[in-house]
Structure 1
């Protein structure tokens, strides 16, 4: 196997011996029918060379379909080309539990971004599909692939209205369905994936995750449709994500809900609803959690006094801070700091 540096040189055409287009590896995935999917990455190498240290787990569902879980470090920009050798029409649900990547839809060139906050259900008709993975990140991806008839059977042939566009037989009318990945959905899936099951139970574990995944997506889409008839737009999701980042970087003096709504040219109601869908709570409650999580980190990693920590995260009165911290974590800040801080820090502070 070539060294990492040699691989990078060849990937970018820098090899003194021979310039090639890029790095290639492939994996063959078998469907329940015996048909196989082949995934190609770039151009000139195959999976046997282990170009990257990648973990891929696939299980076949007993009623048809498959669940795919992948973890891979992406040190440099990567392009994955996925082709179905059988050409079988599949409905795929995909999210990035960690990291971010995008998919170029072959039918119209539309680009969809998968992230820990946003996933998609889409139809794969066997055409070559391109995925772009930016470098400098770790990616965890979870995918569920189902034939159309199997997909319908999982919903007792009563597919929710939000998912009906996936069933259109006219390829010109097929639309991907975006769904928000709530913190509850993401945490639930990660907790189940991290269960240390015996080898003999791995099949059952992954089957359960696949069906739980589909149920969580359906629940999220149903909740979105039932919430006072308000349908969130892509702009609403973008606004919420930017507002979240703004709150995260201004815990001491955060903008108010009204200020955020004005800044992003939206309404307070829409912004609050987008926060509920993305982060499972209102803007105010999300800010409160961000403050307390930051405070917890400061109490663990510094020797700051309780009053200093409270002020740093936006509490002007340490009493209010202690009450909020105790409600969330079950201990006071002082008790938590005493347990969490290294002995050497406490000794230095008391010296």
Structure 2
């Protein structure tokens, strides 16, 4: 039977949990380190208070058994979440991770159940910002009173959530937060700047996304089919179905499927598949746990040369250069 934990259960277990983190790790005075309960798995969570009302959590967790986290209805801050590895499963949201991020406004969150699976490792960057902090950034500016911005300030109403596509730049920012090159007050300032840059990218997406007319050109039922097709592709990067097979699985014609991908994602089905493969490959290369040949196979390339060529077209560097830590020269 799957174990179900409440927030109080989790807090109690974490008080006695061992902390598994890199050797010689040193905490700064503004961060707290917690571990994962042994009988659930291993890993650690770093919570960094960057300023009053703004915090950053860096999580690296791997579970040895299936379990669920049951969260009751609660007040919710503005939140940004990006998975650098693995996927998050929650019954009130679509699965996010890979190229799907999480961006939520403040307000009241409904109760939810988060599912965690054995054998899966989650590396996650989570930003929390109190609504008053964001409002203060726009003090004297009417921009925060605009309709898109007001989606982030729901007060005692239900919060609104969005799922922006994770760009190479967003992923790079999340990785920089994990590997801050400074200590003490300078590190805190560095992380504040990275969080604000990430927030600016999400706000820009929110403003632009609400002005795009593309979704209105497709019927709601067709939209659901296209998004379902995207989920199938994301879950089968190594051995994806053909365009015809994919269209049949979601219940549209192959022509409608291609049109839907162009309108919603700005790419053909194959173009979208290639982009997801390359972004996932970059993520794995940055982690440094697999060889280039292994990663090529994991994202569906039997020929390493073809993988290298596709990767360089996407990022402007070779997989080997990425593995050695060189940053992308293309956006």
- Give the TM-score range, shorter chain: 0.5 to 0.7
Q: Is 1:184 equivalent to 2:172 in the alignment?
A: no
Aligned equivalent of 1:283: 269
What is the RMSD of the two structures over their aligned residues, measured on CA atoms? 4.8
Aligned to 1:236: 226
Structure 1 stretch displaced more, 126-135 or 180-189: 126-135
Look up the match of 2:209: 224
Cα offset, 1:137, TM superposition: 0.8
Secondary structure at 2:78 match in 1:
strand
Ranked by relative contact order (alpha carbons within 8 Å, sequence separation 6 or more), the top structure is: 2
Cα distance in 1 between the residues matched to 2:292 and 2:166: 27
**Aligned in 2, Cα 1:74/1:242: closer, same or farther, shift over 3 Å?**
same
Match of 1:135 in 2: 118
Relative to 1, partners in 2 of residues 1:130 and 1:152: Cα closer, same or farther, differing over 3 Å?
A: farther
TM-score, with length taken from structure 1: 0.58
Change in CA separation of 1:328 and 1:153 when aligned onto 2, cut-off 3 Å: closer
Which string of whole-angstrom CA distances, capped at 9 and with x for unpartnered residues, describes residues 91-137 of structure 1?
A: 32333332222346xxxxx4553323242414464987653322221
More displaced 10-residue stretch of structure 1: 51-60 or 321-330: 321-330
Call closer, same or farther: CA 1:123–1:180 in 2, change over 3 Å.
Answer: same
Task: State which of 189, 192, 199 in structure 2 corresponds to 1:204.
Answer: 189
Question: Quick check: 1:78 aligned with 2:64?
Answer: no
Looking at structure 1, the residues matched to 271 and 171 of structure 2 have their Cα atoms a distance apart, in angstroms, of 18
Question: Secondary structure in 2 aligned to 1:237?
Answer: helix
For residue 255 of structure 1, what is the aligned residue in structure 2?
Answer: 242
1:342 aligned partner: none
C-alpha contact (below 8 Å) 1:180/1:220 kept by paired residues: yes
Q: Which residue of 2 aligns with 1:307?
A: none
Higher-Rg member (1/2): 1
Pair 138,220 (structure 1): closer, same or farther in 2 beyond 3 Å: same
Matched residue of 2:128: which SS?
strand
Q: Aligned partners of 1:290 and 1:48: how far apart in 2?
A: 39
In the TM superposition, residue 170 of structure 1 has moved relative to its aligned partner by: 4.8
Alpha-carbon distance change, 126 to 206 in structure 1, aligned in 2, over 3 angstroms? same
Structure 1 match to 2:96: 114
Change over 3 Å in CA distance of 1:188–1:92 after alignment to 2: same
Structure 1, gaps ≥5 residues long: 1-11, 14-20, 25-38, 105-109, 303-310, 337-351
Contact 1:179 1:221 in 2 (8 A): no
Q: How many residues align?
A: 275
Q: Which residue of 2 aligns with 1:45?
A: 13
